[in-house]
C-alpha cells in the first residue's frame, strides 16, 4: 500500500494544497479532494480518469471543492473528447446523497454525465473495494456535522486518516495498532482550536492507539511557525513525519 499526500494544508495556505490523499492498493482511491489537490494529483502521473472511488470525510470546502473541477473535467473528457472512464463511486458521511443531489441539480450538466455515478453513505461499518478493506468511523469535529475518519487495510498493512477531528475515543479506536496514522494537526499545542486536534493531541492519539508511524498534516498557516514534531513527540515516542505535499509513503 502506498499513500501520497496531495495536500497537507488547509483552505487558504501559501504553500500547501488543502486536504487530499491518494491511496494505492489493488485500487486507486482518493481520500478527500480539497482545493489545489487536483493539480497535485496530475503531478503524480496517475491517470485521473481511472479513479473509481472517492471517499469524503466531510464537506467543509477544504476537503471537497476540487471535486467540482474534477467532475466537470470528467464530463468534458467523456462527452466531447471521446474519452471513456469507469463508473465513479462517491462515498461519504450521512448527508452525502442529499448534498450531491442538490449540487448536481444546480451545476450545469452535472446530472447528464455519460458515465455512471454512485453515491454511498457510510457510518461505522466496514466494506470492501476489491481486495481493500475500508472501515469508516464517526469522529467528532463540529457540532451537528457527521464526520468520518477512515481506516484502510490491504496486504496485511493498515493506515488511518482522521479527517478533521477533535480528540475523541472513536479516533483512538480508528487508529488502533495501525502502521501509519495521518492526523489532523491543524494547530500547535499552544494555539488550540475547539474543533481540531493540536500537535500535542496528535501525539497523544498516536501513543494511546499504538500507532507505528504518525503523519502530521492539515496545517493552518499559523502552525508553520511552531515545531509540531517536537510537540507531538512529547507524548509519542515513535516515528513522526511532518507531511509535505506530494510525499509518498510506502507501507
Q: How many residues bind Zn ion (CB under 5 A)?
A: 3
Is residue 53 involved in binding Zn ion (CB under 5 A)?
no
Is residue 16 involved in binding Zn ion (CB under 5 A)?
no
Stretch that binds Zn ion, among 60-68, 84-92, 108-116, 234-242 (CB under 5 A): 60-68
CA 101 vs CA 109, 118, 144, 200: distances in Å: 13, 11, 20, 39
| Phi, psi values for residue 206, rounded to 5° | -60, -40
Is residue 32 involved in binding Zn ion (CB under 5 A)?
no
Question: Whose Cβ is closer to Zn ion: residue 58's or residue 151's?
Answer: 58
Candidates 20, 23, 47; CA nearest to 36 is 20
Do the bridges between strand 88-92 and strand 53-55 make them parallel or antiparallel, or are there none, so unpaired? parallel
Q: Considering only the C-alpha atoms of the chain, give the largest distance between any 2 of them, rounded to a whole number of Å.
A: 55
Stretch that binds Zn ion, among 96-104, 130-138, 156-164, 234-242 (CB under 5 A): 156-164
Stretch that binds Zn ion, among 47-55, 98-106, 157-165, 234-242 (CB under 5 A): 157-165
Is residue 62 involved in binding Zn ion (CB under 5 A)?
yes
Is residue 153 involved in binding Zn ion (CB under 5 A)?
no
DSSP symbol at 194? S
In the shown chain, the binding pattern of residues 158 to 177 toward Zn ion, with x for contact by CB under 5 A and - for none, equals ------x-------------
Burial (0-12, 13-18, 19+ Cβ within 10 Å), 27: middle
Q: Which of 16, 36, 53, 60 binds Zn ion (CB under 5 A)?
A: 60
Stretch that binds Zn ion, among 48-56, 59-67, 69-77, 206-214 (CB under 5 A): 59-67
Q: Provide the grid cell at 75.
A: 464530463
Torsion of CA 58, 60, 66, 70, to 10 degrees: 40
Residue 185 beta carbon to Zn ion: minimum distance, rounded to whole angstroms = 11
Residue located via cell numbers 473541477:
69
Question: Whose Cβ is closer to Zn ion: residue 153's or residue 164's?
Answer: 164
Strand ranges (E), 8-115: 20-24, 28-33, 53-55, 88-92
Which residues bind to Zn ion, rule: CB under 5 A?
Answer: 60, 62, 164
Amino acid at each position: 500500500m502506498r499513500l501520497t499526500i496531495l495536500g497537507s494544508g488547509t483552505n487558504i495556505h501559501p504553500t500547501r494544497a488543502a486536504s487530499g490523499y491518494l491511496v494505492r492498493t489493488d485500487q486507486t482511491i482518493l481520500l478527500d479532494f480539497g482545493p489545489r489537490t487536483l493539480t497535485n494529483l496530475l503531478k503524480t502521473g496517475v491517470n485521473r480518469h481511472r479513479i473509481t472511488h472517492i471517499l469524503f470525510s466531510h464537506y467543509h470546502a477544504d476537503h471537497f471543492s476540487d471535486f467540482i473541477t474534477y467532475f466537470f473535467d470528467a464530463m468534458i473528457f467523456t462527452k466531447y473528447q471521446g474519452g471513456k472512464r469507469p463508473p465513479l463511486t462517491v462515498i461519504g458521511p450521512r448527508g452525502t446523497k442529499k448534498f450531491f443531489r442538490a449540487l448536481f441539480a444546480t451545476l450545469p450538466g452535472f446530472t447528464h454525465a455519460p458515465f455512471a455515478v454512485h453515491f454511498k453513505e457510510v457510518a461505522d461499518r466496514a466494506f470492501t473495494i476489491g481486495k481493500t478493506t475500508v472501515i469508516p468511523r464517526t469522529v467528532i469535529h463540529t457540532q451537528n456535522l457527521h464526520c468520518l475518519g477512515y481506516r484502510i487495510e490491504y496486504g496485511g498493512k493498515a493506515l488511518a486518516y482522521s479527517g478533521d477531528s477533535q480528540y475523541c475515543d472513536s479516533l483512538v479506536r480508528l487508529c488502533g495498532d495501525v502502521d501509519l496514522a495521518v492526523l489532523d494537526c491543524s494547530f500547535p499545542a499552544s494555539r488550540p482550536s475547539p474543533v481540531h486536534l493540536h500537535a500535542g493531541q496528535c501525539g497523544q492519539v498516536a501513543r494511546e492507539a499504538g500507532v507505528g508511524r504518525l503523519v502530521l498534516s492539515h496545517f493552518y498557516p499559523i502552525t508553520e511557525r511552531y515545531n509540531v514534531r517536537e510537540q507531538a513527540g512529547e507524548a509519542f515516542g515513535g516515528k513522526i513525519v511532518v507531511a509535505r505535499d506530494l510525499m509518498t509513503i510506502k507501507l
